[in-house]
A = this chain, B = another copy of it.
Amino acid sequence: MASEAQDLATRYADVRARTERLAAPLSPEDQVVQSMPDASPTKWHRAHTTWFFAEFVLHADGTSDRMWDRPEYRFLYNSYYDAVGARHPRPQRGLVTRPSMSEVADYRAHVDKEMTELLAGGVEPSLADVIMLGTHHEEQHQELLLMDIKHALSMNPAVGPAYSDQVVVPAADPGPANWVDVAGGLADVGVDHLADGRFSFDSEGPQHEVRLYDFALADRLVTAGEWIEFIADGGYQRPELWKSDGWYRSLDEGWTAPEYWRPDPDDAERWWIHTLTGIRSVDPHEPVVHVSHYEADAYATWAGARLPTEFEWERAATGLAPTGNVLDEERAGFSFHPAAAGAATGELRQMYGDCWEWTSSAYEPYPGFSVADGAIGEYNGKFMSGQQVLRGGCVFTPPAHSRATYRNFFHPHTRWHASGVRLATNRH
């Protein structure tokens, strides 16, 4: 077995095992519920990522007799084809009580067995590409699994349930943010898929030049303490700070603070926060997280600054080591929450991990981008409307998804992802 095949088999096993590790603290009841249409049940994530390999790999090699599968799995766990009637409606995923959690575990085990045998025999490069895509797809769902269960557990305020029993201690003050200047000019952005041997998503390319102007980035994320000042200064009541769409959305949804913050009934200056380690006080030194693009933009206006474009962010990140407080569930002390920045270094801090950073860029195709044929072609292209790019990764992001070219995207009103704010300003 060649080293490259060995690597793929190892990666397959590692990714699959991490999903199971992330689901392990959750009961059958926890794994079945869906707390809003944007979210999915844990059980569904576990089954859907498995269906990917069943559908695109085990079926694709023509040996359906090797396939352990049931027709309803193809119906229930397909999120790809949008044709009317062809798949189970997303908002009803939480009503599918059967197959049970343990049947889904069996499904995973059977597919893993088939896949392991297949990988042991070696696969064609084109199939290896699909399998590699499947592992990255599953890592995206690992992040979604954590986002979604955090939201689901938040719907039970009486019990205040925790996903992890890690104890969290207050953080040290990271000090004021400082501007770090970055030169403009013509910049290469994006991935050259042919030249770059590493995996990246279709939307990360083609590599191309963009014209940038001199700018500066803040050297750390906005903190919860700074956000409390924004609230206290009427940030949520001043329409002149907001984009029009954002202002009306905020009124409709009654926003007065980030998602998961709850006012203290007795102390107007104190805020509580729901986290994966339970409900605790907001720590002013930790980054603010779970804010919408609208809130991030209003905050930046209030602060006399702006959000960076995605290409400003990418230029600034190029050359930095893609390391930070990303998903590391086996690390001692890992708390599934963004951590405070360390002391200032003169360089950019927290560029990777902690919080996804909202940019001012709409999620649009790069020049020369085209959608691949077939179902896998639906991967990213169909989402290139109405969504906003985020960069850098967060505490729920698997390490393999930390790179300067990675483009995450969400609608500007959503908040259940671990999104935060880094400020930018002009230097021209």
The SS class assigned to the A binding surface is mixed
Please determine whether A244 and B82 come into contact, CB atoms closer than 8 angstroms: yes
Chain B residues, CB < 8 A from A153 = 97
A28 at the interface (CB under 8 A from B): yes
Of the 9-residue stretches A3-11, A166-174, A206-214, A283-291, which lies at the interface with chain B?
A206-214
Q: Give the shortest distance, in Å, between A55 (CB) and chain B (any CB).
A: 15
Please determine whether A211 and B213 come into contact, CB atoms closer than 8 angstroms: no
Copies in the complex: 4
- The answer to whether residues A94 and B33 also contact, given A83-B239, A367-B213 and a CB cut-off of 8 A, is yes
CA distance A378 to B209 in the complex (A): 33
CB contact list, A372-400 vs B, under 8 A: 377-378, 382-386
Chain A interfacial residues counted at CB < 8 A: 69
A299 at the interface (CB under 8 A from B): no
Please determine whether B383 and A243 come into contact, CB atoms closer than 8 angstroms: yes
Please determine whether B386 and A245 come into contact, CB atoms closer than 8 angstroms: yes
Please, which residue of chain B has its CB at the minimum distance from the CB of A386?
Answer: B245
Q: Give the shortest distance, in Å, between A304 (CB) and chain B (any CB).
A: 10
**Other 10 A-B pairs with CB < 8 A, given A96-B156, A243-B384:** A28-B32, A29-B29, A29-B43, A29-B98, A72-B158, A76-B159, A83-B239, A96-B155, A96-B159, A99-B159
* CB-defined A-B contacts under 8 Å, sample of 13: A27-B100, A29-B32, A30-B98, A76-B159, A92-B155, A96-B158, A209-B211, A243-B383, A245-B386, A297-B385, A362-B362, A367-B426, A367-B428
